[in-house]
Each structure stands twice: as C-alpha cells, then as structure tokens.
Amino acid sequence: MAAFGTVFMPQMTMATFENSGWSKPELVSSDAIQLHPGAHVLHYASTCFEGLKAFRHDNGSINLFRMDSNIKRMQQSSRLLSLPAFDVSLLQKMITDVVKHFSDEAPKPPGSMYIRPTHVGTEAAIGKAASPTSSSMLYVLLSPVGDYFSGDDKTLRLLLEEDGSRCAAHMGMVKSGGNYASALQPILQARESVNADQVLFCPNGDVQETGAANFLLIDGNEIITKALDTSFLHGVTRDSILTIARDMGMTVSERELSVDELLERASKPDSEAALSGTAAVLAPVGTLIHNGKEFPVGNGNSGATTLKLRKALNDIQWGKAEDKHGWLTKI
C-alpha cells in the first residue's frame, strides 16, 4: 500500500450550509473543492475533521467502527469553533452513502477504509476575524489504507515537553487542524535534537498527550491516563481501549499524572506505555527523553499488555470477536 492516507477514492459526499440551511448531500468528485480566496477557513481557521474506519469482515460485510462517537465529537468541534450546526442524520447519511458506494474497494484486514469527514467555513469575508462564518462545507473523503505497522512494530521515542502545550488549553478537545499545526515545530525540533518520534506535552509537569495521539501508561494491571478535560482530545480509540481494559479486569485510573510519577513508574520492569489513535490503535512506547536523559519504559520493548489490548480491539473491528458494546454499524 501507498503511504497512509495518500490514496483517495475518486468521489466523496458533500453538503453545504447557505442561507441558514443545509443542502442535500451529493456524490461529487474528490479531486478538488472550490473556495473563494477570502474564505473564512483560510484566514481564521474555522475547520474541524474526524477520522474513523470501515472494516471488511470475512462474510464480506462492511462495518463502520463507532461512527456515532465520531459524529458526536464532530458536532462538538463544530460548535466550539462556531461553525454551522448539523444533525447527526446528515453526517451519518453522508458517511454511509459514500462507504456503500465504494464498498468493493474496502481492503481486507489488517487494511481498512479510512474515513475523513471535514467541516470548513466558506464565507468570503476577511473582516470577520471576530465573527463566525455564515456558510460552510461538509464533506467525507475515503482513503483505503493498509496495516499501519507493516510488520515493523518498533517502539516509539517520546520527548517530554514541560514548557509548552500542544494547543490552547480551552481548545484541546476540538479536533481542528490548527491544533496539529501548532505541534509541528516542537515535533520537528525533537526529531532533530534527540531523534524523538513524538513530543509528549506535559505543561507544568502535567502529562497530557502527544501531537497526534493520546498517551497511556500501563503499570502491571493498571492503566493510567489523564482525566477528560478541555485541554486534550477525547480520543475514541482511547475510550475503546479503556473499555476493553475494564472488561479484562484491569484497573483504569483516569486522573492527573505528573512527569515525576511517570518516570518513576516507567522504570519498573513490567511497565509499558502506548499512544492510542485511529490509525495505529495502540503504538508501543519504549523510551522517554527528559532533560537530556533517556529513560526506558519497562524493558524498552513492545509490552505484552499493549499488544493484547490492541489485538482485542482489532478482533472486534475485524469481526473475529463479539461486539459486546455495539460499536459496529453494518452497512
């Protein structure tokens, strides 16, 4: 497969908000969109998106994973960015229609059809820096993707950053492009200076998230991760992994975690750490870098619990285990 997220289906679904109402969704070409150079999104970053997947099961059926949660989060992001509101049924129809249209293109596991709903402000009004857009565009792109790991399950290196944040604290729960852009320079600097894969943002010693994923610490039978607040993204994969962990009898602690406690717990031989997200599900972390020193997490290798949790979630997504929580939507 090509690099993750670089191949797209030739058509997408689109709806527009103008004159206080939404248009009927249409299937349109996905090779271009038309925007005025003065569009609100290009100047004032009125944009949010989602990422979810559709999976092909052995019986040939196509199943969407936790679509309702992604739509709910996109409604939240749109509201917090003052973008026009939309009904759940609108985006649900747009997602299911385009996935059905290209159902034959959905790869078999471990591949999937990655789904990218996007909402952008389109009003041409460069004088509205302090006012919301009156019009917008909602579209759903599809990208067939292969196995994120491609046989290379290497552990990640994280630089702990205590002086900066991924984004403004009140915007962390918004899945907006600006939050990802603001993390790019710290990530690039970390790669160049200490060969880190990602930056784990820990403002004032508070362990939060990396530039593109939630962070989980596993200490024996306990998973520790930051409690939900406005400062970081409420990951759907994070919630899924924590639910599965509880099902397995693990203790899930959603609470504040300091850098000092993280480093102390990570030094234990059976400790593990991982990043959760739609693309990788759970990516193992092997090294933490802090104040110029490197600290291995556990033995520095992929942890057994991390791999067990990832497999358990994949098995549900791929139809190899019971969907006890009603996460799959068959289309």
Residues 115 and 95: beta-carbon distance below 8 Å:
yes
* Residue 281 DSSP class: E
Q: Which two tokens stand for residue 146?
A: 């292969």
What DSSP designation does 148 have?
S
Instruction: Quote the DSSP letter at residue 124.
Output: B
Which candidate in 72, 128, 175, 293 is catalytic? 175
Integer Cα distance of 70 and 277 in angstroms: 13
DSSP codes of every residue in 241-271 = HHHHHHHTT-EEEES--BHHHHHHHHTSTTE
Interatomic CA distance for residues 274 and 179, integer angstroms: 21
Q: Is 175 a catalytic residue?
A: yes
Q: Which residues are catalytic?
A: 175
